[in-house]
Amino acid sequence: MADMSSTTMPSDRYVVVIGGMNMDICGRPNDTVVNRDSNPGVVSLSAGGVGQNIAQNMAHLGMPTYLITVYGDDENGKTLAECCRKNNIHLDYAEQMKGRRSSTYMFITDETGDLLVAVNDMDICKEINPEFLEQRLDFINNAAICLLDANLEEETMAWIGEHVTAPLFGDTVSTIKAHRFDPILDKMTVLKPNDLEASVLTGIGIADQYSAGAAAKTLLDKGVKNVFISLGANGILCASHNNGQYRFEHVPPYRTNIATANGAGDSGMAAITWSYFDDPDRDIKEVGRIAQAASSIALECTKAVPDITVERIYEKMNGETEPLVG
């Protein structure tokens, strides 16, 4: 385990992301997939993982961003570290583990870019455990925001809830992993599930903004302070519970020329984080508009992480492209 005692604490405000970093291997066929056969197409490698993707978006938005993760000393690990360096993601408190395979996510899409099947090799992420985080606790607690992805084990989530004092933001990642937030819902400042993940967490089926509001209220009653439920083509449901008052706001999507279905959720989560980093008192509907604009920018880009900036978000919000009526 790395010695953190000699690492210098930054003097300015910063954000911490605790989560996974993968090498993504994507196969996209040129035409309709023929099962159990070789399909001509394009195979690409890129840095991925929910934690890394969100961290990269956050760094693009100008936040000093530290990714607390683990990666191997294989070629993939070296490539991932270099990608973080190029994208201004600080790995000062991450650890490269000797003799370990870096986390890898291999997926196949159809000819339009929609996911067909995937295999993940993420066992190394289990090393992001309480012992690992204990050595970095002072740094984590001095962050303006600590963002978690649900690739962390439940034991680790529970430990974070007991020991981390920085405001906790969370991305639920998937329906399978969303329940890992159960032990710390009452510690969360912000939680961003999509409609399916919110349904799993609350037991409420979501079909529209009104059922999303019911699910959001359940999460608020469990102690989450602010909830943002992504509704895909139906926008985002924003909810908060402050001073005994519930508030629900629906933000419709912006008109978007969709290039890929990947990356929108990570960009939206990063934009929500930037909103609070920039102005903790920003109105939740404005936060939702910022998140929707960021997601729209991601959908119009073929890369997993778009070249997003605060200026581009405001151009999307204020420019010729108007939100759809919803």
- Is 123 part of any domain? no
- Is 104 part of any domain? no
Element (H, E) at 106: strand 104-109
Q: Per-residue DSSP letters for 165-181?
A: -SPEEEE--STTTGGGG
Q: What is the pLDDT of residue 322?
A: 43
From the list 267, 260, 276, 261, the residue with the least C-alpha distance to 59 is: 267
Query: How far is the C-alpha of 54 from the C-alpha of 242, rounded, in Å?
Result: 27
How is residue 230 written in tokens?
Answer: 């992504």
Domains of the chain: total: 1
- Is 242 part of any domain? yes
pLDDT in tens, 158-213: 999 999 999 999 999 999 999 999 999 999 999 999 999 999 999 999 999 999 99
Give me the count of residues in the chain: 326
Q: Which residues does 198 contact at the CB level (< 8 Å), separation at least 6?
A: 172, 204, 206, 212, 215, 216, 219, 227, 229
Q: Domain span at residue 186?
A: 15-19+49-96+130-318
What is the amino acid identity at position 168?
L
- β-partners of residue 108 are 27, 117
229 contacts 193 by C-beta, under 8 angstroms: yes
What is the amino acid identity at position 18?
I
- Is 311 part of any domain? yes
- Is 35 part of any domain? no
Global pTM? 0.91
Q: Per-residue DSSP letters for 200-213?
A: HHHS---SSHHHHH
Conformation bin of residue 235: beta by default, left when phi > 0, alpha when psi is -120 to 50: left
How is residue 150 written in tokens?
Answer: 């649900």
Q: What is the CA radius of gyration of the chain?
A: 19
Per-residue pLDDT tens listing for the chain (326 residues) = 566 655 666 769 999 999 999 999 999 999 999 999 999 999 999 999 999 999 999 999 999 999 999 999 999 999 999 999 999 999 999 999 999 999 999 999 999 888 899 998 999 999 999 999 999 999 999 999 999 999 999 999 999 999 999 999 999 999 999 999 999 999 999 999 999 999 999 999 999 999 999 999 999 999 999 999 999 999 999 999 998 999 999 999 998 888 876 789 999 999 999 999 999 999 999 999 999 999 999 999 888 799 999 999 999 998 754 443 33
* Cα 212 to chain centroid, rounded: 20
3-class state of residue 4 by DSSP: coil
Tell me the CATH number at 224.
3.40.1190.20
pLDDT in tens, 55-81: 999 999 999 999 999 999 999 999 999
What are the backbone dihedrals phi and psi of residue 207, each rounded to the nearest 5 degrees, phi first? Answer: -120, -20
- Is 30 part of any domain? no
